[in-house]
Amino acid sequence: MKLIASLQTILNRQAEHERFASASYLALAHWCSDQEYNGFARFFHSQAEEETEHMLKLQSHLLDREAKPVLEAMPAPVNEFSNLTAAAEHALELERENTLGIETAYAAANEANDYAAQALLQWFITEQVEEEAWATKMVTLCKRAECSGAIYNLDRHINKELAEEG
């Protein structure tokens, strides 16, 4: 089932979004490690791996449908954050942007009556609900932790806190 060219471009673009998200989470993980927020670093490392899986899922779909994935030049991810809340807000922003990308791709798949691409993207639509949920929760928890003791405690427990959503 060969993909039409316009959908091929859009799915490739989404695979590139996921690759950028992976690089962004890696940058977040390194910033956290550097600041000794080791719990957050661990969480962001697992997100970086997840985003790479998402990229591969889209690229395998392209390959299965006689379309070669193309890796392009990528902008540098954000490497510096003013504090932990700003880092969490950046993660939420990344997820919201990714949701928009998925929705654009899904609309194009509908337009093209491409049922296989629709089914693939439906998985991503559900996934984005979870992704935005943990990111929103992370922002709330970071904002609530105002003193250094509370931040220390949050960092120790963040993986458990976000376990259901992450």
Closer Cβ to Fe ion, 54 or 90, answer by number: 54
In whole angstroms, what is the distance from residue 49 CA to residue 22 CA?
7
137 near Fe ion (CB under 5 A): no
Site for Fe ion in 12-41 (CB under 5 A): 18
131 in contact with Fe ion (CB under 5 A): yes
CB of 40 to Fe ion, least distance (A): 15
Instruction: Give the CB-nearest residue to Fe ion.
Output: 54
Amino acid at 158: I
CB 110, min distance to Fe ion, A:
20
Nearer to Fe ion, 114 or 131 (CB): 131
Give least dist CB 77 to Fe ion, A.
Answer: 13
40 neighbors 70 (Cβ within 8 angstroms): no
Choice between 120 and 151, CB closer to Fe ion: 120
Among the listed residues 19, 54, 90, 137, the single contact to Fe ion using CB under 5 A: 54
**Distance in Å, CB of 138 to Fe ion, minimum:** 12
User: Which chain residues interact with Fe ion by CB under 5 A?
Assistant: 18, 51, 54, 131
